[in-house]
Amino acid sequence: MGKAKVSRRMMDFVVVLLGWLWLAVVNAETIEDPILLVTEAWPPYVYEVNGQSQGFDWETSQHLLKVMGYQPTLKFLPWKRAVKMVEAGKAAALLGVIYTPERDAFMMYPKEHLSLTESTLFVKSREPFIYDSLASLAGLSIGIQSGYVYSKAFSESTLFKREPAGTMARNFQMLNLGRVDLVMANRYVGLHTLKQMGLTGIVPSEASVSSGKVYIAFSRAHRAVERVEEFDRRLKAFKTSEAYQAIMKKYLVQEEGRVNKLLPVNPD
């Protein structure tokens, strides 16, 4: 009789233990792994308002990473510092980055890009300027941003002088004060920045100097091969959805009479 009671108690204990183990497994599967992304504010691609991260690159990446089972957080830093954190493996990914062979040494890029970038020259509206080639910049001083990648032709040209500044806002201040003749910047980021600054009388030139693709890149220090491959597959599929189109349209700066190049109907 005593042995039967002990046996029943053991069975009850085993059942309870198995129940707890099952719950632990279920909970483990539903808990999202934290993942840290870093970037510099680059509206409308990615930026912060009242402590809340916004922008179409962020919303797209956040959505896909959550679907993949991650809990993404985003930290805003000066660009050079953000790049170094990913290189050192202190952050899992860099958001809003252009591909370069140098960065490929320590970051892995999905094949599919998040969005497109279009760089142009900003000028004082009362001082008309028409860009047609690098030759049209001869003798001028161009405000650029430290740590940013520009085309090889632009970066190596000896026709004009490049004046680096730590932020885009600082570049526009220099242009407003007449310390540089032009500012090279992403068209849409520049328009957002000028609006936030309340600075008028500065406009983008019509012609683009260069264009390219914008990615999220993952630190090679995190052995992220499977993560990158899954993100690539999911991003390619997500681009065909109405949800993706809605995110893009939510943030785009519309210019009257100009086709917005950030929203391709069928992205490559």
Mean pLDDT of 244-264: 65
Q: Residue 93 forms beta bridges with which residues?
A: 37, 218
Q: How far is CA 26 from CA 15, 33, 54, 154, 253, in A?
A: 17, 14, 32, 55, 44
E strand or H helix at 182: strand 182-186
Position 19 pLDDT exceeds 60: no
The residue behind tokens 């279920």 is 26
Task: Provide the angle, in degrees to the nearest 10, between the axes of the packed helices 187-197 and 168-176.
Answer: 70
Q: How far apart are the first and last CA of the chain?
A: 76
Q: Which of 90-104, 126-140, 253-267 has the lowest mean pLDDT?
A: 253-267
Q: CA quadruple 96, 258, 205, 151: dihedral positive or negative?
A: positive
pLDDT tens digits along 51-71: 999 999 999 999 999 999 999
Q: How far is CA 120 from CA 111, 131, 160, 176, in A?
A: 25, 9, 16, 17
Q: Which of 3-12, 37-46, 127-136, 173-182 has the lowest mean pLDDT?
A: 3-12
Closest by CA to 200, choosing from 125, 257, 131, 120, is 125
Phi, psi of 226 (to 5 degrees): -65, -35
Better-scored residue on pLDDT, 5 or 70: 70
Closest by CA to 149, choosing from 81, 183, 98, 198, is 98
Distance (Å, whole) CA 83 – CA 194: 25
**Are the CB atoms for 192 and 43 separated by under 8 Å?**
yes
Amino acid in the structure at residue 212:
G
Above pLDDT 70, what percent of the chain?
82
Position 196 pLDDT exceeds 70: yes
Going by C-beta distance under 8 Å and a sequence separation of 6 or more, which residues neighbour residue 64?
231, 234, 235, 238
